[in-house]
Amino acid sequence: MGILEESILKFKDIVEREGLLRERVVIKMRPLSPKEAIGEPERNDFPILKGKEVLVEARFLNSKGQAFTDEPSDFEGTISDVLSLDLNSNRNRAVVVASLNAVLRHLNMVMNTVHCKNSEPEECGKEMADRFFKRWGEDMTVGLVGLQPAIASNLIKRFGKEHVQIADLDEDNIGKDFEGVKVLDGEKRAFDVVANNFLALITGSSVVNGTIDELIRVSKMDNKNRIVIFYGTTIAGVSYLMNLNRLCFRSHSD
């Protein structure tokens, strides 16, 4: 059973216990515009600004939950409707993940389910790199799965280009030089990036695009003590349910 499937089983137990599954409580979801999602950041190379990904937002009562996806859609239905969706597409997985985030936020089980804006992505990237440096020192290596430019830039500045590897699924990024680091093909090389580094820093979008299970499996190969940390709001609920490490320093709870 995969990470998302196991998360859904745990989530179902929670909503049944809270009496939410049987109530006619509607989850409304819609794609956000880039400005709604991320404001006006200091850089212009975020995937959402390039139209490669969309941030979808689920609303459950007064709580919000978000998820990045390349297959955005509108959705409206009950929690029971969400749980009945097949997990056979990025679209459906995004609906499930965003809804799960919104409901768990409503129950105060998770925080920080709304994306940071304006200068905050840059601040988050700097804090992330600084914390890694303080904990593991300048000689650690990090594999970034998912090119989040503010995080990537701060990792390179802090650790040096020879200590950072990057893999991404965006064809426009693959093969390009990002501040001295060649961006590798995420479809072919993401697993190498995880396997070859001390720390794997993985986008939470992996739970939507269906790659999370294999990435975690690779991290455990050869009995090496690789550190795996997910970043972003998308994986807020799943990380809580599955006890996964997540960092998201400047995101919001409403």
> What's the pLDDT score for residue 85?
95
> What's the pLDDT score for residue 223?
74
Of the pLDDT bands very low, low, confident and very high (cuts 50, 70, 90), residue 132 is very high
| More confident position, 197 or 1 | 197
Question: For the segment 196-234, what is each residue's pLDDT rounded down to a tens digit?
Answer: 999 999 999 999 999 999 999 999 988 777 899 999 999
pTM: predicted TM-score of the whole model, two decimal places: 0.91
Q: Which of 250, 246, 252 is nearest to 7 (CA)?
A: 246
**Structural domains of the chain in order of their starting residue, each with its CATH number:** 3-106 (no CATH), 120-247 (3.40.50.11590)
Question: For the segment 27-85, what is each residue's pLDDT rounded down to a tens digit?
Answer: 887 776 767 756 776 656 556 444 467 889 999 999 999 999 888 888 999 999 999 99
| Cα separation, 161 vs 182, whole angstroms | 9
* C-beta of residue 49 within 8 angstroms of C-beta of residue 118: no
How far, rounded to the nearest angstrom, does the alpha carbon of residue 108 sit from its chain's CA centroid?
Answer: 20
Other CB atoms within a 10 A radius of the CB of residue 62 amount to 9
